Amino acid sequence: MDKESIKNLGDLKKAGYQSKSIKDELRDNLKQKIRNNEKAFEGIHGYDYSVIPELERAILSRHNINLLGLRGQAKTRLARLMVNLLDEWIPTIEGSEINDDPLRPISRYAREMIIAKGDNTPISWIHREERFFEKLATPDVTVADLIGDVDPIKAANLKLSYADDRVIHFGMIPRANRSIFVINELPDLQARIQVALFNILQEGDIQIRGFKLRLPLDMQFVFTANPEDYTNRGSIVTPLKDRIGSQILTHYPESIEIAKLITSQEARLDKRQSDLIYVPEIAKDLLEQISFEARDSEFIDHKSGVSARMSITAFENLLSTAERRAIKNGEEETLLRFGDFLGVIPAITGKVELVYEGEQEGAAFVAMQLIGDAVKSLFPNYFPPIEKLQKPDATTPYDNLIEWFFDGSGFELPDDLTESDYKEKLDSIEPLNDLIKKYQPDLKEEDKYFMKEFLLWALVEHKKLSKQRFAKGLQFKDLYGSYISGL
């Protein structure tokens, strides 16, 4: 439809425009995408066989929707992407506060204008991007914010009595007529405010200070909620829950590959960082494994969840740690080092909710524990596993490496070593080179140094070596030598 040539109600009728509810708009456009084998929710990973089919079924059923899940599970992102299922442009009565459909006007303003001007009633057009409204539910939200209130200034200016419905100032929901309206963290909304939504969802009635307005609003409601809020801060009142057509459970990524896709898509990286720093694939795996370990950790509150934002911000911190070192050393290129993972600790400590035991240990300790657990989980993918219990005379592939540390006085790896010094230091450990050649013969040259550090950290986590932090970096020692020197 050529919106440029349609200026008034008469033009709209001649063009053969047919009114359509927002739920039918979403449904028809989704059906078209399904027929064409197009993705309706671009940029969402890991939900192809779980959340997205359920969401599509809810849209086809014309339901209001509640997305229920822990933080960082793309609930709001899914709601925002529903905008792409709307028609690109829709007509409205020019000047209408509530986006009146020219063929189905519901406000007094629009009806009176059509009576006065007939087919000359001016039309304006709204783009789909303007048809998304979002409100974060907080305890201070009022009925006036959402639905409306009497406006004494309007009454005075128009010389109207308070009995006249023209003195009403509409709230966010009526102003979002013919739009998607999202209320985030619904359980945080006070029960009396939730009650005010009953009739809007079911009948379209709006009650404001004694006025009963029959406004059959045309809305697509999407609510988001976190199960943790049901006990900690509030709940969704049962009659409101009954009026929400579909409740869809979201979840965290189920594999490291999906988690990596999300992180690489969402991380805000400077192109210069990407060009400057080489990141081995194992480093990306390790970063995501930290989140998987956190979701199972005894120190972290599972009900609170571990947001996907933790991996995203940790990845940004990881690259910034390497970038800072390269800048200090005046280098144009650098390899990501395992030691750079110490730079992700602030991203971890700020994103996890600790239980009592975790608080006792301290957030930084828990973060280091998660890194260590991630190393232990990934280690068998690259090297022979290290058994907890072994016979005293049993030999292992790591004996020569452990002996190298036993014979030496320790191995120091400062944080800010230049690239050439860093490689020279790691190359000096012959048994380490032998293990890489034997068990990772096809490893790319750029990945070898990270893998060497990974192996050292794994031996520390399996209690075969010791690791100590000193002012400028890390020191690795033989376990028993470290114990004796401590005595």
**Which tens digit of pLDDT belongs to each residue from 239-293?**
888 889 999 999 999 999 999 999 999 988 887 788 899 999 999 999 999 999 9
Strands (E), 65-162: 65-68, 89-93, 123-127, 132-136, 148-150
- Within 8 A by CB and 6+ apart from 115, the residues are none
- Phi and psi at 280, nearest 5°, equal -65, 150
Structure tokens belonging to residue 367 = 């973060």
Tell me which DSSP letter residue 317 carries. Answer: H
C-alpha to C-alpha distances, 124 to 43, 104, 115, nearest whole angstrom: 32, 15, 18
User: Among positive and negative, which fits the CA dihedral 327, 330, 334, 339?
Assistant: negative
- Phi and psi at 335, nearest 5°, equal -90, 140
Structure tokens belonging to residue 215 = 């406004």
Cα distance between residue 101 and residue 444, in whole Å:
62
Structure tokens belonging to residue 381 = 């993918």
Are the C-beta atoms of residues 322 and 274 closer than 8 Å to each other?
A: no
- Phi and psi at 361, nearest 5°, equal -75, -35
Q: Is 335 helix (H, G, I), strand (E, B) or coil?
A: strand
Are the C-beta atoms of residues 52 and 44 closer than 8 Å to each other?
A: yes
User: Angle at Cα 386 formed by Cα 384 and Cα 390, nearest 5°?
Assistant: 125
Cα distance between residue 125 and residue 101, in whole Å:
11
Structure tokens belonging to residue 131 = 């048809």
Per-residue pLDDT of the chain (487 residues; tens, 9 = 90+): 677 888 999 999 999 999 999 999 999 999 999 999 999 999 999 999 999 999 999 999 999 999 999 989 999 999 999 999 999 999 999 999 899 999 999 888 899 899 999 999 999 999 999 999 999 988 888 888 888 877 777 777 777 765 666 777 888 998 999 999 999 999 888 888 888 888 777 766 676 766 666 778 899 999 999 887 555 556 888 888 888 999 999 999 999 999 999 999 998 888 778 889 999 999 999 999 999 999 999 999 888 889 999 999 999 999 999 999 999 999 999 999 999 999 999 999 988 899 988 899 999 999 999 999 999 999 999 999 988 766 666 788 999 999 998 887 778 999 999 999 999 999 999 999 999 999 999 999 999 999 999 999 999 999 999 988 888 889 998 877 555 555 4
Tell me which DSSP letter residue 385 carries. Answer: P
Tell me which DSSP letter residue 387 carries. Answer: P
Neighbouring-strand partners of residue 278: 335
Cα distance between residue 181 and residue 220, in whole Å:
6
Cα distance between residue 105 and residue 424, in whole Å:
77
- Domains annotated for the chain, with CATH where assigned, are 3-249 (3.40.50.300), 253-381 (1.10.8.80), 389-487 (1.10.10)
